[in-house]
Amino acid sequence: ELCPLSYILNRTLDLIFARDTEELFHEPVNADEVPGYLEEIENPMDLGTMRMKVENMEYSSFDQFKKDFMLIISNCLLFNATGSNIYKYAEKLRDTCRTTLNRCKQTIENTPIDWDTLLLLKQEEKTLEEQLVDVKNKVEETKAITNRSTRTSRLKQVRTLYTYFTYTV
């Protein structure tokens, strides 16, 4: 069965991978190339390891996922000199991913997940037509929003809902 938490976390991780344009955090730090790293950093983390944890369904909450992302950033900031290029890059990645992480959290909060099984909760059965009407209504409500950034944010949520809906049908 489809695990909505893993699906949402995987999509979020895709966006984070794309934002790491220098690919500095895609794989574990190579101890041969960075002497002293493993002596100074107690809990190494990277995006590739996070991907494996998502695929193995090792995350049971958004907070665990975010904690690992922040661990990547804090390890980088701890190991590298303040003001160095890599230090600034980690800060920038953290800042640019803040919105992505917030959207992920909102999506998870708005998805009816059974936290014991991590599967979708059973909802009242709606016909395909009723579900499509719901999506259409959300699109119409979104069009009425006058604030551009709010409207854009809502459209992304509706798009996620539509994508999830079409994936599960």
Render pLDDT for 26-41 as a digit per residue (tens, 0 to 9): 999 999 999 999 999 9
Model confidence at 22, pLDDT cuts 50, 70, 90, reads very high
Distance CA 57, CA 75 (A): 24
Write the Ramachandran bin of 9: left for phi over 0, alpha for psi from -120 to 50, otherwise beta: alpha
Q: Does residue 9 carry a pLDDT above 60? A: yes
Residue 123, judged by CB atoms within 10 A of its CB (0-12, 13-18, 19+), counts as exposed
Those residues whose C-beta lies under 8 Å from the C-beta of residue 28, and which sit 6 or more positions away, are 44, 46, 48, 49
CA distances from 66 to 33, 54, 121, 138, 169 (A): 27, 12, 23, 28, 29
Distance CA 137, CA 144 (A): 11
At 115, the amino acid letter reads W
Q: What is the mean pLDDT of residues 140-169?
A: 72
Those residues whose C-beta lies under 8 Å from the C-beta of residue 120, and which sit 6 or more positions away, are 2, 4, 111, 112, 113, 114, 168
Q: What is the mean pLDDT of residues 11-25?
A: 95
Render pLDDT for 34-84 as a digit per residue (tens, 0 to 9): 999 999 999 999 999 999 999 998 998 999 999 999 999 999 999 999 999
| Tokens 């709606």, residue located | 126
Parallel, antiparallel or unpaired: strands 113-114 and 119-120: antiparallel
Render pLDDT for 100-138 as a digit per residue (tens, 0 to 9): 999 999 988 887 766 666 566 666 666 777 777 777 777
Distance CA 75, CA 167 (A): 36
CA distances from 72 to 16, 36, 84, 100 (A): 12, 17, 16, 16
